[in-house]
Structure 1
């Protein structure tokens, strides 16, 4: 069986991203390792409390030789529009999570609304990455 262990999001500022995902969304810091031998490459990841096998890697947009300036600019542009990736989060009570996150300063793009699959809302992280928070309805 294959399992997903980590996914990666590009971020403008790793410190700001880590603070958002931990302080605002309530995730926990999983790893924060800087590798000097790789040009001070930083592996920074967070994950949902109670899901130790799943993490989101908050990856800085690299420069040369990994990514040329034109490609980096395109990635930053897509991020600013919310189109560089989406993280889907689920909860048993989207309204309660929405209110708790709002109280912690999270700004939502869409408020909770009923959909055919459940109740969901939309928010973006400080880098512009799109997140959806959903309370799924059990199929009948």
Structure 2
């Protein structure tokens, strides 16, 4: 058995909306989409990172009570969760492509730290930093 992180989850308000965003706009692939009563285990995977999955999880039963789910949804919508980081070969080109697909950007591509980065949000409000690979 090889230990390690397999899935990192983000909270989303609507799993179908999130799935469309991550697959159609960011180019991720569906790894798992399994229903279990009221709970749906939904994960996507970046095509260049096999073995690592991003879970698109909806707060609510059976994991959270209604009040906790409401609080989590509000925190995500306000951008209160830590940003995720997406590496790209060319930040400006990726920005232009995603902007054309309707992705909401919070920061245009900016030169800093010896590279270029931009910020965007998914439909639920989760913040992302898109950072150009060095070299």
Tell whether the structures are fold-level matches, with TM greater than 0.5.
yes
Output the CA distance in 2 between the equivalents of 1:111 and 1:3. Answer: 34
Q: Which residue of 1 aligns with 2:5?
A: 4
Q: Deviations over 1:38-62 (max 9, x none)?
A: x331111111112111110100111
After alignment, is 3-12 or 123-132 more displaced? Answer: 3-12
After alignment, is 97-106 or 11-20 more displaced? Answer: 97-106
Output the CA distance in 2 between the equivalents of 1:82 and 1:125. Answer: 10
Q: Which residues of 2 match residues 1-140 of structure 1 at below 5 A? A: 2-35=3-36, 39-63=37-61, 66-137=63-134
* Helix, strand or coil at the partner of 2:89: coil
TM-superposed CA distance for 1:94, in Å, is: 0.8
* Helix, strand or coil at the partner of 1:132: strand
Which blocks of at least 5 consecutive residues in structure 2 are unaligned? none
With structure 2 as the length reference, what TM-score do the two structures score?
Answer: 0.90
* Helix, strand or coil at the partner of 2:44: strand
* Helix, strand or coil at the partner of 1:83: coil
Output the CA distance in 1 between the equivalents of 2:71 and 2:46. Answer: 29
* Helix, strand or coil at the partner of 2:84: strand
Output the CA distance in 2 between the equivalents of 1:21 and 1:115. Answer: 26
* Helix, strand or coil at the partner of 2:123: coil
Task: Provide runs of 4+ in structure 1 moved above 3 Å.
Answer: none
Which blocks of at least 5 consecutive residues in structure 1 are unaligned? none
* Helix, strand or coil at the partner of 1:128: coil
